[in-house]
Amino acid sequence: MTETTVRPSDATGGHAATGIGPGAPVLAFDVGGTTIKAAYLDADGVPATILRTPSPAFGPASAQGVLDSVVELSRRLTPPGAAPEAIGLTLPGIVDDETGFATYSENLGWRDVDFAALCASRSALPVAIGHDVRSAGTAEMELGAGRGHRTAVVVVLGTGISAAVFVEGRPVVARGYAGEIGHAVVVPRGEACVCGNQGCLEAIASAAAIARRYSRMSGREVAGAREVLHAMIQGDRVASVVWDSAIDALALGLSHVVSLIQPEVIILGGGLAEAGEHLFGPLEERLRSMLTYVPAPALARASAGENAGLLGSALLARRALARAGTERGVTG
């Protein structure tokens, strides 16, 4: 097993959140398609180190593999004499944060796994289960660009496109299906999508789609959306067409979200958000031009940092503890 340990300040850079603030000590896990990040956060809410270990191999046994890692890493990360009070476990795929039930993981291969029950059988600590985008969104709302807002959408623009939706201060979960904006059709009978549909937002505007569409249209293979952006800046017409159509698709998809829930802010993260003004400028302009009846929300760049999912896990663990305390109080 190859592992790396990083100091959080190395990993998150100067401006990102480095902790969750004072409270109960907790263990936090963020399970991705290839890597599990894990940390112990002391009463100051700061992870001393962040351990990265490979995710289990794809297949139905991966759920047990995740739990084995949680048990093993919990033992190793807890300093001598320390007593973490809860565990936060963030998972990829379709996950119901409220029941702890994971319906499906495309990357790790499990189906219909009751993580809440399995964790309870393996650990004496209260466990909060989270979904990767919603956990990162929770960190964004409490520690990053969403601070002070109650209704907001956090959109991750990466290989795919997914969102965390917060309405009146609460995440919208919908059994794990809320926020799948990447598979909303924005071009009828458009580009084929991995989901089997056509014209999905992520088939046109994700970082992967921008690179793929440019490679196909120009006949020049590029490794990523960053190369397409550079080509556009240097006056490449095909790159401009691809980039503009991605911005149009994003504006259209987001305009519907705005009409439905009127977020105070739309927070954009993921690799594509690194395009900065080349993304935010034209997107804001087009979104405004589409919204004549309702106010256009502010656009903001995600700022909780690359460990947002892990910090979100820790925040969920603290909440689970608060909930358990309340329940104990109510029942005497």
To Zn ion, the closest distance from the beta carbon of 130 in angstroms equals 23
- CA torsion angle 118 160 168 308 (round to 10): 70
**Interface mask toward Zn ion for 266-305; x: CB under 5 A:** ----------------------------------------
Q: Which is nearer to Zn ion, 151 or 197 (CB)?
A: 197
The SS3 of residue 52 is strand
DSSP, res 224? S
To Zn ion, the closest distance from the beta carbon of 208 in angstroms equals 12
Which residues on neighbouring strands pair with residue 5, listed in sequence order? 51
Q: Which is nearer to Zn ion, 155 or 200 (CB)?
A: 200
To Zn ion, the closest distance from the beta carbon of 253 in angstroms equals 12
- Cβ neighbors of 26 (< 8 A, separation 6 or more) are 40, 41, 84, 85, 86, 87, 88, 314, 317, 318, 321
- Cβ neighbors of 159 (< 8 A, separation 6 or more) are 206, 207, 208, 271
Q: Which is nearer to Zn ion, 183 or 278 (CB)?
A: 183
Q: Which of residues 196-235 bind Zn ion (CB under 5 A)?
A: 197, 200
Judged by CB under 5 A, the stretch of 50-58, 181-189, 265-273, 321-329 that binds Zn ion is 181-189
Which residues on neighbouring strands pair with residue 133, listed in sequence order? none
Q: Which is nearer to Zn ion, 33 or 282 (CB)?
A: 33
Residue 101 has a CB neighbour count (10 Å cut-off) of 18
Judged by CB under 5 A, the stretch of 37-45, 144-152, 177-185, 223-231 that binds Zn ion is 177-185
DSSP, res 185? B
Size of the site for Zn ion (CB under 5 A): 5
Chain positions contacting Zn ion, by CB under 5 A: 183, 193, 195, 197, 200
